């Protein structure tokens, strides 16, 4: 089991009223923003289960929006976020689906990328799906995400590049649609890698998407 910090239970310092429904929502938004990176014009939130039922009362809608806009969990602006948003079209949808976690959301940017995640309690979050590929990102590590055409040798090619930077790999997860189909790889890192390294990974043959996800504070 990964060692957890004592501060996961005696903090964060945040605006209320709910750590899972407000702070967790902000952090899910922040993480999705870190993954999508591009400046977006449109964002849609699909809230599930308890997020859908009681989200309104907990400021979940405000928290998610504040997060994708880059505000941190203790920013008192969250309360009035709807009053200050400009140039971004945002919408919400509410669903019940027992196959999903009680506090779950899909965040869809510009109809192009869907980031799904759960708020698992005490402000902690987990991103578990990006554009249909299983993920496991909790924001505690810098993570390199790439999507590519499944073929032998990809793991060693990527790890070689990272190895040359003398960066330690904390964990590595892969998933694929089918043999030879589209595959995804998540590399959790102890320290962040530079954009030059990301460029090198992008140049690997058959890699079609790379993003360097910064960990959450």
Strand order in the sheet with 207-213: 169-176, 182-189, 142-149, 207-213
Binders of other proteins among residues 101 to 140 (CB under 8 A) are 102-103, 119-123
Q: Which of 29, 59, 67, 139 binds other proteins (CB under 8 A)?
A: 59
Q: Which of 17, 70, 180, 194 binds other proteins (CB under 8 A)?
A: 17
| DSSP calls for 148-198 | EE--TTHHHHHHHHHHHTTPPEEEEEEEESSTTSEEEEEEEESSPPPHHHH
Give the contacts of 66 (CB within 8 A, at least 6 positions apart): 26, 29, 75, 77, 78, 81
Say how far apart CA 52 and CA 96 lie, in whole Å: 7
Nearest approach in angstroms of CB 108 to other proteins is 23
Contact 33, 209 (CB under 8 A): no
Q: Which of 12, 29, 117, 139 binds other proteins (CB under 8 A)?
A: 12
Binders of other proteins among residues 159 to 188 (CB under 8 A) are none
Beta carbon nearer to other proteins, 113 or 127: 127
Strands 89-95, 42-48: pairing is: parallel
Contact 67, 15 (CB under 8 A): no
Nearest approach in angstroms of CB 182 to other proteins is 32
Beta carbon nearer to other proteins, 161 or 189: 189
Choose one: 5-13, 130-138, 143-151, 204-212; the region binding other proteins (CB under 8 A): 5-13
Nearest approach in angstroms of CB 110 to other proteins is 29
Contact 64, 48 (CB under 8 A): no
From the CA atom positions of the chain, what is the Rg in Å? 17
Task: Give the contact letters, 61-100, x = binds to other proteins (CB under 8 A), - = no.
Answer: -------------x-x-xx---------------------
Under the rule (CB under 8 A), what is the footprint of other proteins?
A: 1, 3-20, 22-23, 49-50, 53-59, 74, 76, 78-79, 102-103, 119-123
């Amino acid at each position: 089991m990964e060692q957890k910090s004592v501060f996961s239970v005696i903090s964060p310092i945040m605006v209320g009223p709910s750590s899972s429904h407000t702070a967790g929502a902000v952090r899910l938004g922040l993480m999705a923003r870190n993954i999508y990176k591009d400046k977006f014009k449109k964002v849609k939130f699909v809230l599930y289960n308890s997020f859908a039922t009681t989200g309104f009362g907990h400021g979940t809608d405000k928290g998610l929006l504040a997060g994708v806009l880059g505000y941190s969990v203790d920013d008192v602006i969250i309360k009035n976020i709807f009053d200050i948003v400009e140039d971004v079209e945002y919408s919400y949808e509410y669903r019940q689906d027992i196959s999903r976690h009680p506090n779950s959301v899909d965040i869809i940017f510009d109809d192009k990328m869907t980031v799904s995640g759960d708020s698992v309690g005490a402000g902690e979050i987990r991103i578990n799906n990006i554009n249909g590929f299983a993920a496991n990102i909790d924001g505690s590590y810098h993570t390199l995400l790439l999507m590519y055409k499944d073929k032998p040798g990809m793991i060693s090619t990527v790890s070689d590049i990272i190895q040359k930077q003398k960066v330690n790999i904390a964990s590595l997860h892969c998933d694929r649609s089918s043999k030879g189909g589209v595959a995804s790889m998540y590399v959790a890192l102890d320290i962040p890698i530079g954009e030059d390294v990301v460029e090198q990974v992008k140049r690997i043959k058959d890699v079609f998407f790379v993003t360097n996800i910064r960990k959450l504070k």
